[in-house]
């Protein structure tokens, strides 16, 4: 799997998780945690030092925000809809920026 494909898989997971959270965080909390854990494992397989400068900056910002979002799921987000929207936003950003990896 190429790095670009991994980034797109991560983006897809972020969008899925965001949609589930927006549809009812409490009811889908188990699934959300499972996918966040899976996404975290996928992130660990990526070597960001090979990224072009423009994408590296985006990825570093994403990692910073993702760590905060990930911590919130274990204490229930204060604002579930904002949490969901932020996950989906990062999914969309990574999807669009992944073309820099071609």
pLDDT digits over 46-62, tens only? 988 889 998 999 999 99
Per-residue model confidence (pLDDT) at position 74:
83
Measure the N-to-C terminal CA separation of the chain; round to a whole number of Å. 13
Average pLDDT, the chain: 94
Question: Residue for token digits 């072009």?
Answer: 52
Domain map (residue ranges) of the chain: 3-101
pTM of the model: 0.93
Phi, psi values for residue 52, rounded to 5°: -60, 150
Per-residue model confidence (pLDDT) at position 48:
85
């Amino acid at each position: 799997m190429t790095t670009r494909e991994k980034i797109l898989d991560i983006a897809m997971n972020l969008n899925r998780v965001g949609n589930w959270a927006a549809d009812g965080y409490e009811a889908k909390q188990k699934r959300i945690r499972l996918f966040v854990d899976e996404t975290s494992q996928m992130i660990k397989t990526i070597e960001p030092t090979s990224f072009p400068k423009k994408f590296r900056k985006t990825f570093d910002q994403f990692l910073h925000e993702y760590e905060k979002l990930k911590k919130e799921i274990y204490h229930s987000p204060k604002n579930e809809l904002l949490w969901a929207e932020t996950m989906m936003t990062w999914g969309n950003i990574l999807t669009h920026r992944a073309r820099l990896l071609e």
